[in-house]
Amino acid sequence: MKNKKLGLNTICTHVGETPDEQFKGAISPIYLSTSYEYIDVDVKRYPRYFNTPNQEYLCKKIAALEHAEAAMIFGSGMAAISTTLLAFLKSGDHIVVQNDIYGGTRNLMEAHFANYNIEFTFTDGLNVLDFEKVIQSNTKMIYIETPSNPLLKLVDMEAIAKLAKSRNLLSAIDNTFASPVIQNPVDFGIDIVIHSATKYFGGHSDICAGAVASTQENMDIIWNIAKNLGGSLSDFTVWMLERSMKTLGLRVKAQQRNARKIAKYLNKNESVSKVYYPGLKDHPSHDIAKKQMKGYGAMMSFELNEGINTKDFLNALKLIKPSMSLAGVESTMLQPSEASHALLTPEDRADQGISDNLIRFSVGIENRKDLLKDIEQALATVKTTGSLVNS
Ligand SMILES: *Cc1c(COP(=O)(O)O)cnc(C)c1O
């Protein structure tokens, strides 16, 4: 199906269905074959060539959602990220990187890039000037992640894309936290869009996958090394991912509706000292959010008052699960200093503004009143049991 004028939910449901010529079933058949005929065929298919039928077709859905020419699916978000970076960065190259990016991406750079003689500089801030001032003569790419994890900091995508173009650099974004439902970086001139499909694309906390979308020309360059690095996804999981993505638009919008109201509730709650959500008027990048996001997403973070023990609060929750990952239909919370950002040094965490009592909240699709009740009962429990930090 051509996708030019189709609406979001139609793209989610129908674009990139694998044809079932034989039986005309209502859904995509699954092709688990790892071996395909090679004589007189246009495409020599093999799972690690990223071109089995289910992979090939689902990529069309992802490209359509990201307004890109082409896309690829990977075995994890990190496979998508590492393959993309290694496709464009060679020995002697340099990359400018937003300071507070996903911990795994940062760890990849800090632990391994020196071995490949690839240089990187993390910016001091999020303004376009913070990026511009660290560009070197050997810089090849600017890498951003907006909204960022876990503080929901925003970077102006249009300004970054302009800067990159003016200096003949590639721009890449990790769009995981927003999802294509909330923002489409290609529309602002960003070259390469990366996703951990483990998050909103999968949406049910049962799939680990990644995706990249860009021009056909860029995707050819990525494919050229991807087939050797070998981070492809099993076709069974590709098929599961297609099923999940049919409801991507519905899910993310429902999650976002909950998040907007819950952010306002937390912002007024006397036990909460700070809320980080781009939809709040006092968020430092609220104006950028209005310009580049369709809504404000379903991720937020908050800090409880000094006296309240964060871990005890999380343990007192009955419905919301303290859980490592995010973006599932179920609401989850996590303490970054103990989980997602535990591998960073305390200095790096402090540098990024991640306090030890920060809680990241991935808002799900449950009924909002049940989520609010759960937060209220957990706060009441920690207060009455007097589990004070300093006690
Ligand atoms: C989870 C995540 C990743 C890594 O994805 P995996 O699927 O776990 O490899 C990258 N970026 C962001 C923003 C993430 O949340």
Residue 138 is encoded by which pair of tokens?
Answer: 């050997």
Q: How many beta carbons lie within 10 A of that of residue 27, not counting itself? A: 12
Rounded distance between C-alpha atoms, residue 121 and residue 62, angstroms: 30
Site to probe by mutation for ligand 1, drawn from 148, 173, 176 as the one with most ligand atoms within 8 Å of Cβ, is 176
Q: Is any atom of ligand 1 closer than 6 Å to the C-beta of 173?
A: no
pTM: 0.95
Q: 285, 301, 294, 296: which is closest to 154 by C-alpha? A: 285
Our answer to whether residue 167 is catalytic in this structure is no
Q: Is any atom of ligand 1 closer than 6 Å to the C-beta of 296?
A: no
Q: Supply the mean pLDDT for the chain.
A: 95
Q: 268, 244, 294, 274: which is closest to 67 by C-alpha? A: 294
Rounded distance between C-alpha atoms, residue 230 and residue 129, angstroms: 37
Residue 3 has a pLDDT of 52
Tens-digit pLDDT profile for residues 41-53: 999 999 999 999 9
Our answer to whether residue 349 is catalytic in this structure is no
**Stretch 108-114: mean pLDDT:** 96
Band of residue 350 on the pLDDT scale cut at 50, 70, 90: confident
**Phi and psi at residue 21, to the nearest 5°:** -65, -30
Q: Quick check: 321 and 374 in contact, CB under 8 A?
A: no
Tens-digit pLDDT profile for residues 209-232: 999 999 999 999 999 999 999 999
Band of residue 390 on the pLDDT scale cut at 50, 70, 90: very low
Tens-digit pLDDT profile for residues 293-311: 999 999 999 999 999 999 9
Question: Which one of 140, 153, 199, 360 is the catalytic residue?
Answer: 199
Our answer to whether residue 174 is catalytic in this structure is yes
Residue 391 has a pLDDT of 40
CA distances from 38 to 72, 122, 336 (A): 22, 46, 49
Position 383 pLDDT exceeds 90:
no
CA distances from 175 to 56, 72, 200, 301 (A): 21, 15, 10, 18
